[in-house]
Amino acid sequence: MTKNLDQYFIHTYNRSVVFEKGEDVYLYDNKGKKYLDMGAGIAVSALGYSNEEFKQGIKEQIDKLIHISNLYYTKPILSAAEYLAKASGMDRVFFTNSGTEAIEGALKLARKYAYLKDNSSKGEIIAMEHSFHGRSMGALSVTGTKHYREAFEPLIGGVSFAKYNDLESVEKLITKDTCAIILETVQGEGGIYPASEEFIKGIRKLCDENDIAMILDEIQCGMGRTGTMFAYEHYGILPDIITSAKALGNGVPVGAFAAVEKFAKTMCPGDHGTTYGGNPLAAAAVCKVFEIYKKEGILDHVREMSSYFFEKLKTLLEKYPSVVKEVRGKGLLLGLEVSCPNGEIVQKAMEKGLVLLTAGSNVVRMAPPLVIKKEHLDECCHILDEILSEMS
């Protein structure tokens, strides 16, 4: 292995550790050091690293068929589509390779619906400040953090940004050309902010009144992370279009956008496509994830662990008020707002064998595997206690 690890990479990440294997909820680097993983590959590895049923399902599919184009059906994609549609309350599904591709498809679907109603529509989209939806050009266009966008402009037009959890700011932006309102049900990169009930129900009402698409980005907060299969279930509403990825494949690259029939039926052959999306290997992974969630009671487990973890983190808030300003989030997507640079805490944690994530510049994000147990959460809080004690 080259001594200069970045030698052959375009420098878009600041990386320092070479991970070699994973077991349960732990990672091991190439020197044998053990790390408790509280990031799960950014909310991806929901089942951890040792689920034998999942691994065996992937191996069996590899022996049958890895890829065939979307010109044909396969058994895994038929089952995966049914699982996702029934779990989400949507009617139809399109599988992609990633979350950002799912966002692209969702935006196209909303614009196609508006175009069929009125081909002079400008297809305007309302997104949220401090949101994050991906780094391709369409997804970047609706990402509400300026420094992500400015070097790549001009992006797609007709996008305006409202304040998250401020319904009045959304209402002011609606015009006759608005085709969609897009938001994360729980903002991730923006600081781990769940939508308020008033806000999300108000957006549902605005979309109904104006016949526009309500798009919920559930790429990070969906697939059980908040204790329900999708985070919008907490609010008793149903969006028109959703996006999913990350835990959907438990590490196998797969995403999806799904929609209710009213919007889904606007797409026709030639409107959208993908070479790899929903191929047999990816679809087999999706099927196994849904099967294991049900068999192992993952949603009940998340609710139990999240309540325990939240209380443990609150003790750190009470103990170190000069450093920890707030604990917030939903389920096992939690954040500590801190008064110091969050990167400093993440670095100290790595040195002590704990993998954490950041969100913005002042939030330490935790999105562990959903199979995590109380003893692991205790271990995480013990290490955080050591770090905060040193810093306070």
Helix (H, G, I), strand (E, B) or coil at 141: helix
Is the torsion defined by CA of 12, 250, 81, 93 positive or negative? negative
Write the DSSP assignment of 326-378 as a string of letters.
EEEEETTEEEEEESS-HHHHHHHHHHTTEE-EEETTTEEEE---TT--HHHHH
Mention every residue, 6+ apart, whose C-beta is less than 8 A from residue 280: 61, 64, 65, 66, 67, 68, 74, 75, 76, 77
Every domain of the chain and the residues it spans: 19-51+297-391, 53-296
Rg (CA), the chain: 21
Write the DSSP assignment of 93-116 as a string of letters.
EEEESSHHHHHHHHHHHHHHHHHH
pLDDT band at 14 (very low <50, low <70, confident <90, very high): confident
pLDDT at 163: 98
Q: What is the pLDDT of residues 257-298, one digit of tens each?
A: 999 999 999 999 999 999 999 999 999 999 999 999 999 999
- Joined together, the tokens standing for residue 327 give 């604990």
**What's the chain's average pLDDT?**
97
Nearest to 384 by CA among 359, 366, 362: 366
Write the DSSP assignment of 184-215 as a string of letters.
ESEETTTTSEEPPHHHHHHHHHHHHHHT-EEE
pLDDT at 319: 97
pLDDT at 2: 59
Q: What is the pLDDT of residues 20-70, one digit of tens each?
A: 999 999 999 999 999 999 999 999 999 999 999 999 999 999 999 999 999
Nearest to 304 by CA among 333, 331, 336, 328: 331
Q: What is the pLDDT of residues 371-383, one digit of tens each?
A: 999 999 999 999 9
Q: Give me the percent of the chain exceeding a pLDDT of 90.
A: 95
Region 53-296: CATH code: 3.40.640.10
Q: 19-51+297-391 falls under which CATH superfamily?
A: Aspartate Aminotransferase, domain 1 (3.90.1150.10)
Q: What is the pLDDT of residues 173-226, one digit of tens each?
A: 999 999 999 999 999 999 999 999 999 999 999 999 999 999 999 999 999 999
Q: Say which range, 10-19, 67-76, 237-246, 333-342, has the weakest mean pLDDT.
A: 10-19
Q: How far apart (Å, rounded) are the C-alpha atoms in residues 27 and 41? A: 11
The span from the first CA to the last CA of the chain, in angstroms, equals: 40
The mean pLDDT value for 127-144 works out to 97
Helices 280-296/75-88 angle, 10° precision: 50
Q: What is the pTM of this model?
A: 0.97
Q: How far apart (Å, rounded) are the C-alpha atoms in residues 8 and 4? A: 9
Asked if 99 and 245 count as a contact pair (C-beta separation under 8 A), the reply is yes
Q: Give me the percent of the chain exceeding a pLDDT of 70.
A: 99
Q: How far apart (Å, rounded) are the C-alpha atoms in residues 226 and 293? A: 14
